[in-house]
Amino acid sequence: MAASPLADTAPAADIARIIVTKVFVRGLKVDAQIGVYDHEHGRLQPLVVDVELDVAASHCERLGDTVNYEMVGEAARALVAEGHIDLVETFAERLAQACFADPRVTRARVRVEKPLALAPHAAAAGVEITAVRA
């Protein structure tokens, strides 16, 4: 029986180096006052949000070593609490900027779906942006 090729190698920390950690939130549901049309003002509409963050962090052993993904939900809820937003693009950009509050975030990809926008003809419409720390 052949020996495992990994049996005589150094521990993983010595042979691999993590250069980017991806932190993500998928399918976050928030209700927002959003839209440019008259019938969209003064009422809440559902949004479904996906966020993927590139984080300059490696060898994470504690929560403080990385970005807590709960921050994404808190930031999204804080944005909708501020009041009406005309465009999903604006919401996506503001959410990305909020994620950059943590200096370890180097890139944010934010996708915002508005499920009722084209109902019943489409499951959703929306926007996806990618922002990179300047």
Active-site residue list: 114
Unique residue bearing structure tokens 């019938």: 39
- If 0-12 CB within 10 Å is exposed, 13-18 middle and 19+ buried, where does residue 64 land? exposed
Q: Helical H runs in 56-131?
A: 70-81, 88-99
Non-local (6+) Cβ contacts of 75 within 8 A are 95, 98, 99, 101
- The Cα 16–Cα 108 span in angstroms is 24
Q: Rounded to the nearest 5°, which phi and psi values hold at 7?
A: -60, -35
- The Cα 88–Cα 113 span in angstroms is 8
